[in-house]
Amino acid sequence: MLTGCSLHDAGMRLTCVTRQASTGTTRQCRETYDRWTNVWWAKTDDDSGNRNVFVSDVHFTGGDQDKPLPGLPTC
């Protein structure tokens, strides 16, 4: 089964797809901002004191489209 959602706001688009299979459920979210797009996310603490939040890699410099950021560990 395949389900999805989409969010559009001020030049940003977030699209998520959930796939259910006999081996489990996976979810992939892609953020598109201007001409940049990425499915990789960084886990960090934000400036408001929230811990373990995810930020799309499109907001960082130094990476490529749909690739992990160099130097950040993957998990």
What does each of the 75 residues of the chain score in pLDDT, given as a tens digit?
345 555 555 567 878 878 787 888 877 888 888 888 888 888 889 889 999 988 888 888 888 888 888 888 887
Q: Global pTM? A: 0.67
Q: Please state, in angstroms and rounded to a whole number, the distance separating the CA atoms of residues 56 and 26.
A: 18
> Would strands 24-33 and 12-21 be described as parallel, antiparallel, or unpaired?
antiparallel
Q: In what order do the strands lie in the sheet with 36-38?
A: 2-9, 12-21, 24-33, 36-38
57 DSSP assignment: G
Provide the 8-state DSSP code for 64.
-
Beta strand pairing status for 12-21 and 2-9? antiparallel
